[in-house]
Amino acid sequence: MTTTIQSKIKSWITSGVKTGMESNGDTLKDTPSGSISIAFAEELSKCGDDTVLECFNCGTCSAICPLVGESFPRKMIRYVQIGAKDRILDNAEELWRCLHCGLCTRTCPREADPGEVILALKRFVLSGWRRS
Amino acid sequence: MNDQTEIRQPETEQNETVPATGQAEKEKSATSQTGNGKNESGESEAKDKKQKVGVYICYCGGNISDHVDVEAVRERMEKLPDVAISRTNMFMCSDPGQELIIEDLKNGLVDRVVVASCAPSLHETTFRSAIERAGANPFIYEHANIREQVSWVHHGDPATDKATTLVAAAAAKAGLLKPLEPVRVDAKKHTTVIGGGISGMTTALGIADKGIDVALIEKTSAPGGMLNRLDRLAPTGEYAADIIEKLTRKINAHKRITLHTDCDIVDVTGYVGNFVITIKNNRNTQKGAGSKTSELKNGAIKTGSIAKGTSETELHEAGTTGAGVIETGAIVMATGSHTYIPVPGEFGYGRNKQVITLEELISQLKKVNIPESSSKFSRELFTWNGRKIRSIAMIHCVGSRQIPGIHEPGSSGYLNEYCSRTCCSAMLNASVTIRKAFPGTTVYEMYRDIRTYGRGQEELYNRAAENKVIFMRFEAGAEPEVKTREELESDTSDNLRSPASQAFNGRRSGEPQFPLNVTVQDTLTFGETFDIPVDLVVLATGVEPNDVSSLVKAMKIPVGTDRFLLEVHPKLRPVEFPVAGIFLAGTCQAPMDAGEASNAAGAAAAKAAALLNKGYIELPPFVAEVNEERCTGCGSCVEACIKEGALNMVEIETSRNSGASDEKVKVARVTPAICLGCGACVAVCQDSAIDLNGWALKQYEKMVDAIVADGMAA
């Protein structure tokens, strides 16, 4: 079930024209190495985040996060930083586990505002969804 | 015992063994000196009357007395016939301790001094100068090491017994010590600085400001060295060109500095205070009037200052002959370094025009103006070779921190295992410049480890993050792979990745494709592998020392396994070579930034000026001396001598036989400034005509007698 939703979300996003990016199709999932979109961080700023490149990957946000294991939200933030859009979409469901308690934003030593990055990612995913 | 030893260990950095007392000084003066040293012969005095030896034994605050019964040693010493006085003190090196010696000398109670304490490298000079302050000759002193050689390695009665033996031997030797005078060598008040980079220029200015003439020798046509290839310097953003200009102007205006550009060094001979350097003009192609013009245009060579020199410096200036000789008192090596040249194919270098070194990038950035505040919406792109650059991969640690078994040696044939230190800052500095001036260009910094070390330079990392530089980290052995689009396509033709060009996404429709792809396994993203499409790859090539092997050979200066020149000791004798009168500064010594190079230059200048300031140099007197009355002129000592020029056969007029003053005989003669004091000559002399001052055969015999004597140890 989850997988279906996931792939749907993904195809919505990747085929979306709003981003102005080329369509990558579903092939991304099968590639041994991920590809990087150099314009993604900028793209995301339209959805409300402009601090993600401040992050220096210390992991404080993941350590303090009470809910989700597996390096959340650090991993998501890292994907945004390097523009690994496919990896974000592969794991998009994680975004909806976040409760927005704000602990990560409060403890971030770089004021990279991890909470806001997660919110922006949700908006990004949703905007692509609505479009389709 | 153990923990005490550990705590005390740092003090023992320069331990020497007891029989090697004075060896340090000998080595210091070692290699190449000559001159008119005067050795006073006090031998007859020493023979005639019995010496009054004072023995002073140190507790070292428990360091010695915890394991050696110091009072027992003192009592045993008092029984020795030669010993006039034996005293102990908690710290002999303290003022009250030294005062004991001074008082006894002044009161005539003793005329030979033995201190039994720590290693001679720590306090031998302390006690010699105390004796000097008492108005006596500092060489009537003998040192016994009963800390490193006794209390730190033995305990109980054996410790006390060994201390007794060592002190008794020292006292026995002291009875035969004679006053000596240091070897004095006249020194030219002139220094030659080799290398006209920032270190060489700063050294030259420092020395010249002390009133000493300087010849600054630069192999290229203009001073500046590595800084000529740099742009804005971290962390202040000051232009390297401005710094060079300021220094060059100062040098040209300084009446004591002569700058020789386009000059190679052919040979270096001589010794401290009296080196002779042969230089050769390397402007082979242009000669005569043409070259003169270029000199003037550069403002590089000042004519006239050569003759103006106040010292006896003779410079037969190159000019038309293309060769010259500089007589100089000291030499500073400031021969610098160059950047690593990647092996063809290393990260695609040499195969692809879009793979460049940091040095090449910096030369391009010189033309770039950084706007005060760039528009947030600016999409301006950096340009290289006429091509718009949308993204750059900056790869760190190229030719640095190479690991045996993982990395291949570079074009020099060597594996550079050291960190080049300056490239992290230089890369980030360049990244920030690009991001500020060209906000449309994305910059990926791919590093193994990153550290913008140094005061104020951490700020560079912050600035890079602020300017949205993207950092990725790789492991050694899993370096990023740089591939052209074609290479990648052929690689993946039978792969799942199809169409292969999908890796080059991220471009806007209608834009040209990215020519290069960098595959990196990024440990910051949990070791995941990414393909990064880029227009340009920049390699942070490290620092390699310039090849100065001919100078190294001529001057006999040490080189480390990393090929950088090696100073004597980084803390105790920085910027000094073991060869007296030769110093070093800057990146010929290790990778360092311009600020550090200037610091080293200041240190080298201070040391060279201090050495030459008096116009003469005093060297320790522990050298061989010939008794010409006894010498039969057989020459075996000259054959045995390991130091060229230290021993020669000379003809002297003698009155040995009948008083006929015109009779000539051959005898050996020592040049004290060159003599190493090794004693090889003493061992081969059949007539006992040659001996070592301060370490005479008789003194050894007395020491051995004392060591084997029964009954001393309880």
Same domain? B536 vs B557: no
Contacts of A54 in chain B (CB under 8 A): 465-466
Compute the average pLDDT of residues B18-26: 39
Contact across the interface for A82 and B522, Cβ inside 8 Å: yes
Q: Is residue B565 part of a domain?
A: yes
Q: What's the token pair of residue A106?
A: 């409060």
Domain of residue A124, residue span:
2-14+35-131
Confidence band for B318, pLDDT divided at 50, 70 and 90: very low
Boundary (domain end) residue, out of B146, B181, B216: B181
Same domain? B371 vs B504: yes
- % pLDDT > 90, chain B: 66
Examine the pLDDT at B190 and tell me if it is beyond 80: yes
Nearest CA in chain B to A17: B509
Same domain? B207 vs B170: no
Contact across the interface for B508 and A41, Cβ inside 8 Å: no
Domain count, chain B: 4
* CATH number, position B665: 3.30.70.3270
* CATH number, position B230: 3.50.50.60
Q: Which of A22, A41, A57 has its CB closest to that of B505?
A: A22
Examine the pLDDT at B116 and tell me if it is beyond 80: yes
Task: Provide the total of helices (H) and of strands (E) in chain B, helices listed first.
Answer: 20, 32
Same domain? B426 vs B527: yes
- How many whole angstroms separate alpha carbon B679 and alpha carbon B697? 10
Compute the average pLDDT of residues B476-481: 94
- The tens digit of pLDDT for each residue in B207-261 reads 999 999 999 999 999 999 999 999 999 888 899 999 999 999 999 999 999 999 9
Residues of A with CB under 8 A from a CB of B: 20-22, 24, 27-28, 30-41, 53-54, 56-57, 71, 75, 78-79, 81-84, 87, 110
A-B Cβ pairs (cutoff 8 Å, strict)? 89
Q: Is residue A88 part of a domain?
A: yes
**pLDDT of res. B271:** 86
Examine the pLDDT at A86 and tell me if it is beyond 90: no
Examine the pLDDT at B375 and tell me if it is beyond 80: no
Examine the pLDDT at B522 and tell me if it is beyond 60: yes
Which of B391, B528, B535, B536 to mutate: most A Cβ within 10 Å? B528
Contact across the interface for B505 and A37, Cβ inside 8 Å: yes
Taking the CA of residue A99 and the nearest CA in chain B, the distance in Å comes to 23
Contacts of A37 in chain B (CB under 8 A): 505-506
Contacts of A27 in chain B (CB under 8 A): 496-498, 502
Nearest CA in chain A to B393: A38
Confidence band for B496, pLDDT divided at 50, 70 and 90: very low
Compute the average pLDDT of residues B566-585: 93
Taking the CA of residue A79 and the nearest CA in chain B, the distance in Å comes to 7
Confidence band for B402, pLDDT divided at 50, 70 and 90: very high
Same domain? B535 vs B386: yes
Is the preceding peptide bond at B81 cis, omega within 30 degrees of 0?
no
Q: Is residue B403 part of a domain?
A: yes
Compute the average pLDDT of residues B47-76: 90
Confidence band for B497, pLDDT divided at 50, 70 and 90: very low
- How many whole angstroms separate alpha carbon B671 and alpha carbon B213? 27
**pLDDT of res. B41:** 42
Contacts of B503 in chain A (CB under 8 A): 31, 33, 35
- How many whole angstroms separate alpha carbon B615 and alpha carbon B443? 57
Taking the CA of residue B495 and the nearest CA in chain A, the distance in Å comes to 9
Examine the pLDDT at B278 and tell me if it is beyond 90: yes
Compute the average pLDDT of residues B334-355: 93
Question: Which range scores top for mean pLDDT: B293-297, B436-440, B604-608, B684-688?
Answer: B604-608
**pLDDT of res. B631:** 92
Element (H, E) at B640: helix B636-640
The strand ranges marked E within B510-551 are 516-522, 528-534, 536-541, 543-545
- The tens digit of pLDDT for each residue in A27-76 reads 333 334 667 776 787 788 888 877 888 888 889 999 999 876 778 899 99
Q: Is residue A27 part of a domain?
A: no
Taking the CA of residue B236 and the nearest CA in chain A, the distance in Å comes to 22
Boundary (domain end) residue, out of B524, B542, B560: B542
Contacts of A21 in chain B (CB under 8 A): 505-506
Phi, psi of B41 (to 5 degrees): -95, 110
**pLDDT of res. B492:** 58
Q: Is residue B704 part of a domain?
A: no
Domain of residue B422, residue span:
341-542
Taking the CA of residue A15 and the nearest CA in chain B, the distance in Å comes to 14
Same domain? B511 vs B448: yes
Alpha-helical regions (H) of A16-73: 40-45, 60-64
- How many whole angstroms separate alpha carbon B407 and alpha carbon A45? 41
Contacts of B466 in chain A (CB under 8 A): 54
Compute the average pLDDT of residues B456-462: 89
Examine the pLDDT at B298 and tell me if it is beyond 60: no
- How many whole angstroms separate alpha carbon B361 and alpha carbon B376? 25
Nearest CA in chain A to B532: A36
Compute the average pLDDT of residues B579-607: 95
**pLDDT of res. B508:** 52
Contact across the interface for B530 and A24, Cβ inside 8 Å: no
Nearest CA in chain A to B461: A56
Compute the average pLDDT of residues B169-192: 94
Contacts of A39 in chain B (CB under 8 A): 442, 506, 508
Examine the pLDDT at B591 and tell me if it is beyond 70: yes
CB-CB contact of B215 with B326 (8 Å):
yes
* CATH number, position A91: 1.10.1060
Compute the average pLDDT of residues B22-26: 41
Q: Which of B465, B472, B498 has its CB closest to that of A27?
A: B498
Examine the pLDDT at B120 and tell me if it is beyond 50: yes
Choose between B161 and B502: higher pLDDT.
Answer: B161
Compute the average pLDDT of residues B514-519: 93
Contact across the interface for B530 and A30, Cβ inside 8 Å: no
Give, as one character, the DSSP assignment of residue A89.
H
Nearest CA in chain B to A111: B466
Confidence band for B520, pLDDT divided at 50, 70 and 90: very high
**pLDDT of res. B564:** 97
**pLDDT of res. B376:** 62
Burial B627-645 (b: 16+ CB within 10 A, else e): bbeebebbebbbebbebeb
Contacts of A83 in chain B (CB under 8 A): 506
Taking the CA of residue B485 and the nearest CA in chain A, the distance in Å comes to 14
Domain count, chain A: 1
Secondary structure (3-state) at B396: strand
Same domain? B597 vs B633: no
Same domain? B486 vs B600: no
Poorest-pLDDT segment among B67-76, B367-376, B391-400, B436-445: B367-376
Examine the pLDDT at B27 and tell me if it is beyond 80: no
- How many whole angstroms separate alpha carbon B421 and alpha carbon B412? 19
Contact across the interface for A82 and B466, Cβ inside 8 Å: no
Average pLDDT, chain B: 84
Q: Is residue B478 part of a domain?
A: yes
Residue type at B614 in one-letter notation: K
Contacts of A41 in chain B (CB under 8 A): 468
Examine the pLDDT at B498 and tell me if it is beyond 60: no
Which of B502, B508, B520, B521 to mutate: most A Cβ within 10 Å? B502
Poorest-pLDDT segment among A43-57, A85-99, B269-283, B326-340: A43-57
**pLDDT of res. B87:** 96
**pLDDT of res. B319:** 40
